[in-house]
Amino acid sequence: MASKHKDLLGKRFGRLVVTTKEPIRKWRSYLWGCTCDCGTTKFVYASTLIQGTTRSCGCLRRVVAGRKRLDLRGHRFGKLFVVEVTDIRRGSAVVWKCKCDCGRETLVGAGQLTLGLTKSCGCYRRDKAREKAIHGMADTPEYRAWIAMRRRCQIPTEQNYGNYGGRGITVCDEWSKSFVDFYAHVGSRPSPEHSLHRINNDGNYEPGNVKWGTSQEQQNARRCTIYLTLDGQRRTAMEWSRHLGVSHHVITNRAWRYTTTAEFLKSCRKRIA
């Protein structure tokens, strides 16, 4: 079966000019020999020429990549300060010479820098490992709570990021950098029922706003928690339920029928009097 394409001899496609036609009997098709503007000869199928998939011997890709290369000299990425570009290549990636804040020099690919995958010469990881070894608490609930606190405030891909970092909750610099400083403030977890609790639910993780709280304290601090006030006493619907001996669902589902919250709570108090 002969090729259904027209004669391409002498035609130009990008940087390629068709010069020869080579039959391939196995597939009953043809390969077209093309000469690139750079002088290289390349054999390609007619379909890739006509569809624009192949426009050079490969030199065009290298030229475009060279044009798009970012000049990273003088830029800072984490602890690394970019000094100069090198002649080294890792695949098609440009390698930059960087100086770390610890004083060491290292070679890092452009992608590793721009994507934030490499932020130091390796000293950051070593320092963290040394810190874990010093405090000896890497497997404790306090250390796991510290890790979880930082992740939900600083990593957008975390499941709960929207309720923390996504709405502006941050971890103070002192705690973000050091577990030791964090532990010195909050201390040991009193019991397995306690978890890290922010006193002001809209405040940050910082000294004065964090303690170990019970599940009840955590529940009361939720944004969706209903608070009711009577005779100057402000309590949650659950706390009023226990205090008045009225079902929690009665309070939350029927309070809206009364003119005021105080009127509803007084009616509950009269009923049990």
The mean pLDDT value for 161-177 works out to 88
Looking at residue 172, its pLDDT comes to: 93
Q: Is residue 1 part of a domain?
A: no
Q: Is the pLDDT of residue 164 over 90?
A: no
Looking at residue 250, its pLDDT comes to: 60
Q: Is residue 194 part of a domain?
A: yes
Q: Are residues 173 and 97 in the same domain?
A: no
Q: Is residue 38 part of a domain?
A: yes
Q: What is the pLDDT of residues 38-96, one digit of tens each?
A: 888 988 888 888 888 888 888 777 665 554 567 888 888 888 999 998 888 777 678 99
Task: Give me the percent of the chain exceeding a pLDDT of 70.
Answer: 69
Q: Is the pLDDT of residue 189 over 80?
A: yes
- Convert 98-124 to b/e letters by CB count within 10 Å (16 or more is b): bebeeeeeeebbbebbeeeebbbbebb
User: Given pLDDT bands bounded at 50, 70 and 90, which one contains residue 2?
Assistant: very low
DSSP secondary structure string, 177-192? H-HHHHHHHH-S-SST
SS3 198: strand
30 Rama class: left (phi>0) / alpha (psi -120 to 50) / beta:
beta
Q: Is residue 247 part of a domain?
A: yes
Q: Are residues 156 and 104 in the same domain?
A: no
Q: Are residues 76 and 28 in the same domain?
A: no
Q: pTM for the full model?
A: 0.41
Q: How far is CA 194 from CA 19, 79, 169, 191, in A?
A: 79, 36, 21, 6
The domain boundary, picked from 103, 124, 145, lies at 124
Looking at residue 248, its pLDDT comes to: 57
Q: Are residues 73 and 55 in the same domain?
A: no
Q: Are residues 46 and 79 in the same domain?
A: no
Q: Are residues 106 and 82 in the same domain?
A: yes
Residue with the larger pLDDT of the pair 272 and 234:
234
Q: Are residues 242 and 184 in the same domain?
A: no
- Do the beta carbons of residue 225 and residue 236 sit within 8 Å? yes
The domain boundary, picked from 124, 146, 171, lies at 124
Q: Are residues 216 and 241 in the same domain?
A: no
The domain boundary, picked from 101, 124, 147, lies at 124
Mean of pLDDT over the chain:
77
Structural domain boundaries enclosing 148:
136-220
Q: Is the pLDDT of residue 253 over 70?
A: no
Q: Are residues 114 and 75 in the same domain?
A: yes
Q: Is residue 129 part of a domain?
A: no
Q: Smallest Cα–Cα separation from 113: which of 127, 129, 94?
A: 94
Q: Are residues 76 and 55 in the same domain?
A: no
Q: Are residues 112 and 168 in the same domain?
A: no
Q: Smallest Cα–Cα separation from 80: which of 104, 57, 59?
A: 104
Q: Is residue 130 part of a domain?
A: no
Looking at residue 106, its pLDDT comes to: 92
Q: Smallest Cα–Cα separation from 18: which of 60, 52, 46, 58?
A: 46
Report how many domains make up the chain.
4
User: Given pLDDT bands bounded at 50, 70 and 90, which one contains residue 3?
Assistant: very low
Q: Is residue 2 part of a domain?
A: no
Residue with the larger pLDDT of the pair 20 and 157:
20
Q: If you count them, how many residues does the chain have?
A: 273
Q: Is residue 241 part of a domain?
A: yes
Q: What is the pLDDT of residues 118-143, one digit of tens each?
A: 888 988 887 777 766 667 787 888 98
